[in-house]
Amino acid sequence: MSASVLRSLEGIEAMRAFSREMRGKGRSIGFVPTMGALHEGHQSLIRRARAENDLVVVSVFVNPLQFGPAEDFSRYPRDREGDAQKIAAAGGEALFTVTAEEMYPHDSFATFVVPEGVASQWEGAVRPGHFRGVLTVVMKLFQIVAPTRAYFGRKDAQQLFLIERMVRDLHLDLQIVPCPTLRESDGLAMSSRNVYLSPAERVQAQALSRSLRAALESYRRGERETQRLIDEAGRVLEAAPPLTLDYLALVEPDRFSPCRGRIERARMIVAARVGKTRLIDNLLLAAEEEQ
């Protein structure tokens, strides 16, 4: 199959005009928002969007609002040419890019989407303000692109949960499509940040997915006690120094609140630092594999 020719849409007006034209022709728009440095995980979202819509728009915008002052905004990997090729190869029609100054005019921008409740736990506790930045940019991108469906990876499970809740809470007129996590052959969840890892750190990083698999195996052998499932995963992480754990928890899949006592289904979530690189992963503990 030949790759499609990619259309480059720079700036908000160019994107809006394209979206208006396509919707005017009755075309459905699948949207895949990203921060670039694309990998096969992103491409799987684009392929899924391609299969379910008339055309696919991918945005690449490294959103300054979701990075803390001590985080990796300035050194976040950027690869414009590689991204364009990967989008075209996966069947995307258009690449939307925009500057931070156009998104957040420094002398006037002052309106944010601020999630409450579990948004201050887990990732929100370690990265204050992160989800305010994520939801604000996602809301803005939805207004600009006006998609029929938007595709998000389960890799960022808490982000996906909060975006689905925002769409419900604010009555946004689009469908959110959750997509499975793509992994390297050794189990490591694909991430743009994996390029930061040295070969030794790359091996240590496998402990995250191994710990989740250990909990899943224990679950499938019949274990249902929250604490014992967490301990099972915790033992794998403890055996893998010098990994620094941010959190390891079991949450209710539909509410993202902490599980207590016996569970039926649950999502195990983990975040750790390997050297200077922060990694997250999660896995649904259920009888069936997640789609």
Q: How many CB atoms lie within 10 A of CB 249?
A: 19
Secondary element (H or E) of residue 12: helix 12-24
3-class DSSP assignment, residue 251: strand
For ligand AMP, give the closer residue by CB, 188 or 263.
188
209 binds ligand AMP (CB under 6 A): no
Residue among 19, 22, 31, 34 that touches ligand AMP (CB under 6 A): 34
137 binds ligand AMP (CB under 6 A): no
87 binds ligand AMP (CB under 6 A): no
86 binds ligand AMP (CB under 6 A): no
| Residues 6+ positions from 182 with CB-CB distance below 8 Å | 39, 40, 41, 44, 153, 155, 189, 190
Secondary element (H or E) of residue 227: helix 226-238
* Cβ-closest position to ligand AMP: 153
Q: How far is the CB of 151 from ligand AMP (least distance, A)?
A: 7
Binding segment toward ligand AMP, per CB under 6 A, in 71-79, 86-94, 149-157, 264-272: 149-157
For ligand AMP, give the closer residue by CB, 192 or 211.
192
DSSP 167-189: HHHTT-SSEEEEEPPPB-TTSPB
271 forms bridges with which residues in the sheet? 247, 280
* Residue linked to tokens 């995250």: 208
Binding segment toward ligand AMP, per CB under 6 A, in 35-43, 87-95, 112-120, 239-247: 35-43
Residue among 9, 18, 29, 41 that touches ligand AMP (CB under 6 A): 41
CB burial of 113-146 (b: ≥16 within 10 Å; e: otherwise) equals bebeebbebbbbeebeebbbbbbbbbbbbbebbb
3-class DSSP assignment, residue 113: coil
Binding segment toward ligand AMP, per CB under 6 A, in 10-18, 74-82, 140-148, 187-195: 187-195
User: Considering 39, 42, 106, 130, which one is annotated as catalytic?
Assistant: 42
Residue among 14, 177, 182, 245 that touches ligand AMP (CB under 6 A): 182
191 binds ligand AMP (CB under 6 A): yes
State both tokens at 245.
């754990």
Rounded distance between C-alpha atoms, residue 251 and residue 257, angstroms: 5
Is 42 catalytic? The answer is: yes
Which positions touch ligand AMP (CB under 6 A)?
A: 34-35, 41-42, 44-45, 152-153, 155-156, 179, 181-182, 189-192
* Residues annotated as catalytic (active site), given as ranges: 42
